[in-house]
């Protein structure tokens, strides 16, 4: 029996890396009966006949799991947010940060395409965004020139010995960033990007690539998280700046919406909590509150 990590999943086969070697495996038949599906990033125990024939016998516990892309045990996410083309979106960034907080994945915010900004006023705007999100506690990397070597190196040095994903809107510069870190990836990311652009029902191969002594989930078609699996009364827990002051709220279970004596609303008024973040919270809270429960009915299990 061997122990390893699933590096690639495709058409019912799982490539598992163990002790420097990659073995092609299948899942045991009873996994399907138990509704267990291995995904990339899973740690597993498996048995082999040879490098091209083996079976996963046991799934080891995950510490987190992403649905889109299907990846387990991710340490951090590089959130590529473009300044322009497409335009920067506070709402999308905050939604992504909420989903990462929920899964206990460390975000690294990378603001791309700053070289396309045409005025000092625009540049100052993004410098303030970077400062504000750093104040919350997030790691923000803001390039100041084309192919900024310092910014690229800042991302690269966070990769060793971690499993990461790179996420952001289509066209935000995810592939460009990866290629700047490791030019050898250019062909691979280009090929996957083309295959994903053909339609949402295209078969998607998810794999882990070794980049700068770390692992990156090769999913350049991935754009955003859906936070609708969060209950409305839990949403507040995924805004770190809210959690820091919530002990000072008048009511213990304050939702920071209509309650009197709310420390979060006081923070917004005083400017210590970003109004844009609070507005995004209210918008998402109301969406989640209005969401009807979805009952997951599965047949044939």
Is 164 known as a binding-site position?
A: no
Three-state SS for 103?
Answer: coil
Compute the distance between CA of residue 300 and CA of residue 278 in angstroms, rounded to an integer. 44
Is 170 known as a binding-site position?
A: yes
Compute the distance between CA of residue 244 and CA of residue 129 in angstroms, rounded to an integer. 20
Residues paired with residue 163 on neighbouring β-strands, in sequence order = 215
Is 171 known as a binding-site position?
A: yes
Distances (CA, A) of 27 to 38, 46, 121, 187: 8, 9, 56, 30
Radius of gyration of the chain (CA): 21
Helix (H) or strand (E) holding 27: strand 21-27
Helix (H) or strand (E) holding 7: strand 2-10
Three-state SS for 209?
Answer: strand
Is 76 known as a binding-site position?
A: no
Is 297 known as a binding-site position?
A: no
| Phi, psi torsion values for 253, nearest 5 degrees | -100, 35
Is 122 known as a binding-site position?
A: no
Compute the distance between CA of residue 64 and CA of residue 289 in angstroms, rounded to an integer. 25
The tally of CA atoms less than 13 A away on the side-chain side of residue 199 is: 3
CA dihedral (272, 275, 280, 285) positive or negative: positive
Is 201 known as a binding-site position?
A: no
Is 49 known as a binding-site position?
A: no
Distances (CA, A) of 184 to 113, 121, 220: 22, 37, 15
Is 176 known as a binding-site position?
A: yes
Is 114 known as a binding-site position?
A: yes
Is 75 known as a binding-site position?
A: no
Is 173 known as a binding-site position?
A: yes
Three-state SS for 107?
Answer: strand
Compute the distance between CA of residue 282 and CA of residue 260 in angstroms, rounded to an integer. 16
Is 174 known as a binding-site position?
A: yes
Is 113 known as a binding-site position?
A: yes
Is 103 known as a binding-site position?
A: no
Is 54 known as a binding-site position?
A: no
Is 4 known as a binding-site position?
A: no
For the annotated binding site for Zn(2+), the residues are 249, 254, 256, 262
For the annotated binding site, the residues are 112-115, 168-176, 249, 254, 256, 262
For the annotated binding site for GTP, the residues are 112-115, 168-176
């Amino acid at each position: 029996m061997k122990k390893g990590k699933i590096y690639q999943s495709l058409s019912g086969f799982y490539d598992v890396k163990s002790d420097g070697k990659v073995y092609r495996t299948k899942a045991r038949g009873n996994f399907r009966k138990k509704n267990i599906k291995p995904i990339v990033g899973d740690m597993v125990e498996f048995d082999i006949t040879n490098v091209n024939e083996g079976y996963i016998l046991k799934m080891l516990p995950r510490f987190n799991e992403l649905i889109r892309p299907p990846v387990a045990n991710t340490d951090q996410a590089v959130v590529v947010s473009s300044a322009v083309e497409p335009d920067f979106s506070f709402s999308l960034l905050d939604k992504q940060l909420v989903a990462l907080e929920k899964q206990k994945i460390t975000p690294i915010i990378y603001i791309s395409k700053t070289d396309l900004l045409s005025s000092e006023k625009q540049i100052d705007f993004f410098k303030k965004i970077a400062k504000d999100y750093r104040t919350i506690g997030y790691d923000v990397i803001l390039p100041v020139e084309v192919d900024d070597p310092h910014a690229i190196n800042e991302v690269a040095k966070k990769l060793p010995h971690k499993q990461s994903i790179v996420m952001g809107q289509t066209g935000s510069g995810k592939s460009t960033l990866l290629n700047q870190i490791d030019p050898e990836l250019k062909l691979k990311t280009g090929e996957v990007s083309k295959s994903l652009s053909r339609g949402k029902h295209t078969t998607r191969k998810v794999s882990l690539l070794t980049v700068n002594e770390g692992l990156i989930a090769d999913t350049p078609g991935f754009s955003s998280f859906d936070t609708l699996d969060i209950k409305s009364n839990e949403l507040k827990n995924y805004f770190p700046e809210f959690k820091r002051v919530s002990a000072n709220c008048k009511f213990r279970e304050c939702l920071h919406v209509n309650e009197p004596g709310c420390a979060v609303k006081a923070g917004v008024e005083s400017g210590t909590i970003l109004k844009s973040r609070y507005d995004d919270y209210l918008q998402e809270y109301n969406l989640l509150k209005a969401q009807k429960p979805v009952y997951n009915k599965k047949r044939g299990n």
